[in-house]
Structure 1
């Protein structure tokens, strides 16, 4: 599939919250044929594809990934760390990169307490990173507060599935790429903004900033959601390989959601639905209430093992997400907007 190398490269690359710029040169190189690129002062990036009218549709995918930070360098040369968004149990025996003055490889080791009756107990307190350096050498390269990210190469599994770190949310960036590719020779009625937002993992901050910057008429948040299969979230009905997941709930504009479902049915694009009666926990939550209110929908890609180094996604789900959004944009006319926005 065209662009699959791009997906692999962005998944294997590193861009923790606050350092999304580490990824932007790669994204810019791959999106440059689709529109003009802007990077804002606080690390949002968007690609603008000019439409026929002045009405705006924004598709947003966050760039940042979950991460660790250096908390202490022990006398023995081990790195203690704080984590954000990562379950301590998933870190045991993982490979990491410490982003100091230069990048250093390390492994996460578990300090096993033989006197602890609960042998299954794992916390950040008994994990440390081994680099092989002593404290003197390490202190010349690494300082407190340096970022640490998971290090993992993409693995190709059966049935068109792949596994890697940072599929949350690089899968959505790839879906935007598929969408942009599908619209390459389409003159859409609406101005299209493909947005790579910053700091979603620490509070959806980029979504607020860029919504005020662009002021779109329609906002589409792209993210991942939990698979409900074996070892998944039993409270959901999302399955890998069954298509993008369209969210239903008060965070979602009902008429635009229905328009998206009609588009999926029209073009025989598989999709699933997910009910979220409260906070969706995504950029959609902040887009909706920005600039006096933006008509917002959320489309998610199901994945397994979220916020680990072995997240799993189905490539066809990504492709169908991009295709669905492209068909919506292709068919959407300015004359429809007033009717869509009326309750």
Structure 2
């Protein structure tokens, strides 16, 4: 593996918040992490972070875009009620079952304020309510402040994130919020560190996309602007857990998954698998018959079409505050990307226009 300290990198990326549409904090952190690799970094008009790492040799060189979304799911304040309690709605796929009794941070123009998510005590629930998860509309945030102070400091539209420190588990696992998709951002950094040890005649665009969790908004404009020869999305997929269906989970520490399906170019899928085999790296195919529900689809349909692939990192308990991933899977994903990119030349890119003998 590269010299990148994956544990320190992961924890640094987890330290900043970035609810969809409000990714400026994590974008600044990603920019700092990219400093050893390039100074050619820009933010486009929608908020995507685009970093260009020049390849060796004379141009024009083949180009590869690596897309890892920076944003996370979260909440938004919709109302300040009598007593200073805050009502909220979801931004992205928030599961109300996981929100009760959570500690939160309300992000305001005057700073972050700690609060808790409250709900009706079980003693006061009706027979119909008992045993059922409370909908988000029945939950509220308590900041512990007097009502007027809340009204002075909080505005409707302020974002809210879960307050939780990363937890190191046994066997190189980490549990935290927003590992979807900070784990993939870390994998991109691992890729760039590994590429420094390899000869590479490819221009790499490391892109932190925005608003994936609320409709995959950022990937399309990023790819349209860069117009790469190849685009690889890096995201997370469903890890194994107790009672999981056999066809919808992948083991932690079993390596990344490689998308197999119409949302990925056949030759890129094949090349990623062959590269993993050459590295004696474990991996699994993830078979998806249509849209992969990742940035991959938006990357694929830009301009006249872009040859795409998708690598996913298995993660347990997705869209909770205890998402769990194995560090080794992050490192493997980055290494696989680097060695795949190092093997690209102009002939390979020109061959992507033909599916025959893929």
Superposition TM-score, scaled by structure 1 size: 0.97
**Bigger mean CA offset, 238-247 vs 44-53:** 44-53
Q: Which residue of 2 aligns with 1:333?
A: 345
Distance in structure 2 (CA, Å) of the matches to 1:3 and 1:202: 28
Q: Which runs of 5+ in 2 are unaligned?
A: none
Does residue 211 in structure 1 map to residue 219 in structure 2?
A: no
Does residue 33 in structure 1 map to residue 22 in structure 2?
A: no
Q: Which residue of 1 aligns with 2:52?
A: 48
Q: 1:95 to 1:254 in 2, by over 3 A?
A: same
SS of the equivalent of 2:247 reads coil
Does residue 276 in structure 1 map to residue 276 in structure 2?
A: no
Distance in structure 1 (CA, Å) of the matches to 2:196 and 2:208: 19
Q: Which residue of 2 aligns with 1:67?
A: 74
Contact 1:12-1:166 at 8 Å conserved across structures? no
Superposition TM-score, scaled by structure 2 size: 0.93
The number of equivalent residue pairs is 343
Q: 1:148 to 1:285 in 2, by over 3 A?
A: same
Does residue 16 in structure 1 map to residue 19 in structure 2?
A: yes
Distance in structure 2 (CA, Å) of the matches to 1:262 and 1:31: 28
| Residue 225 of structure 1, aligned match among 237, 245, 257 | 237
Cα shift at 1:235? 3.1
Contact 2:71-2:211 at 8 Å conserved across structures? yes
Distance in structure 2 (CA, Å) of the matches to 1:149 and 1:292: 39
Contact 2:104-2:162 at 8 Å conserved across structures? yes
Q: Which residue of 1 aligns with 2:128?
A: 117
Cα shift at 1:234? 4.2
Cα shift at 1:118? 3.8
Q: How does 1:275-294 map to 2 (within 5 A)?
A: 275-294=287-306
Post-superposition CA distance 1:216-273 (Å, at most 9, x none): 1100000001113325454324111100010111101011110110000011111111
SS of the equivalent of 1:8 reads helix
SS of the equivalent of 2:234 reads strand
Distance in structure 2 (CA, Å) of the matches to 1:233 and 1:10: 31
SS of the equivalent of 2:214 reads coil
Post-superposition CA distance 1:102-123 (Å, at most 9, x none): 2101111122342233412211
Q: 1:159 to 1:21 in 2, by over 3 A?
A: same
Distance in structure 1 (CA, Å) of the matches to 2:288 and 2:28: 35
Distance in structure 1 (CA, Å) of the matches to 2:232 and 2:115: 38
Distance in structure 2 (CA, Å) of the matches to 1:161 and 1:232: 19
Q: Which residue of 1 aligns with 2:114?
A: 105
SS of the equivalent of 1:230 reads coil
Q: Which residue of 1 aligns with 2:251?
A: 239
| Residue 321 of structure 1, aligned match among 323, 333, 339 | 333
Contact 1:255-1:341 at 8 Å conserved across structures? no
Q: Which runs of 5+ in 1 are unaligned?
A: none
Distance in structure 1 (CA, Å) of the matches to 2:81 and 2:261: 48
SS of the equivalent of 2:98 reads helix
Cα shift at 1:185? 4.2
